[in-house]
Amino acid sequence: MAGAKQQPPEESFEGQLISGKYRVERLIGSGGMGTVWLGHHEVLGTRVAIKFIRRAFAERPDARRRFEIEARAAASVKTRHAVDVYDYGLTDTGLPYIVMEYLEGESLSEVLVRRGPMAPHEVSSIISQAARALTKAHQSGIVHRDLKPDNIFLATNVEHDDAAPYVVKLVDFGIAKILDTAQTGQFGGPTQDGAVIGTPNFMSPEQLTVGGAPNALTDLWSLGACTFAAFTARIPFEGEVLGDIVLKVCMHPMPVPSAYNAAVPAGFDAWFSRACARDPKKRFQSAEELAEELAKVCGVSPSASKIRQSVAEPAEVMYQLKPADPAMVAELEKLQAPQGMSARTALMAGLVIGITLMIGVLGALAWRAKVAEEETLKPPVEAASGDAGAPKK
């Protein structure tokens, strides 16, 4: 579990007055696409965080669009559990900026590196607060698309309950999708059809393999993966190259949390298998449901009953088969894990899984046909002898 790499700024904004009202102070954070600076409103005196897009991206329409999406999406999620956006505009030189709520504290990723696995009651509280933000976002037609421990922030400078010294805030809506039903009825965003972007270790199978339009259920998969990380201080689907991550997310046996931390509460293995079910229909169908069931497992809710046994049903055997073409897999595993995934890579991964599923289906049909044939050929005496002729389990 490591935080996002900090990239040095290309230029300093320290001391500048932005739009005649925001005075820039010092650098407080940086990433691949932008830098974040502490500032204050000249008249009101309030502290703010000001994010500037890097000039290397300022001339790219897709990057500017993504920057605008971040401002629009975050501003549309009206909840104390998402970072507030106060303003958006251009500097005198035409550089886009976002003025946001200034937060002090640590990301969930940083806390896990420092402290290791968390206690059940704390995990439940963090995920519950994150789920509230997701509920508001989904109700507003917004899909975050990049939920990971780095983007779950534990803010200590915000009024909080006595139960915990922080408030959870979802941050970085830079690759969010916004559903504009009034105009197109489709998810709008900065990527082209077929492109898959995000953090592969926390992306759902459908995002990694087909590049389909993300929806609320892809966010729920990612939140489930973040919960695994909170309990184990490990990334659930690790890999040095993209191909390895894709195979683990889509085809290998799912990780079992208790195998990495024996202290996880009873029922959490089953909860995780449902939260990150490869079939979206078998997942929790809302962030609220996901958080409520986790609270029960963690003993936080008044009703601490175990989660339904149906969530642990192993209904995805075919996804666990090995791919049939070693050459294709070898080529896939050579691909480095970038921030995003191209349409070509997504298509290749989809072909691998398609071939695997075809083999699994044909194998299952052949096995059933063979069993039916054997039953037909059994002599009458053997057929009447109970379990004598049944295959051993």
Domains, in order of start, for the chain: 17-101 (3.30.200.20), 105-356 (1.10.510.10)
pTM over 0.75: no
- Residue 209 near residue 247 (C-beta atoms within 8 A): no
With a cut of 50, list the residues of the chain below it in pLDDT: 2-4, 180-196, 302-349, 351-353, 355-393
What radius of gyration do the chain's Cα atoms show?
Answer: 24
pLDDT at 229: 97
Catalytic residues: 146
Give CA separation, 375 vs 125, 307, 366, 368, 384, in Å.
55, 38, 14, 11, 12
pLDDT at 118: 97
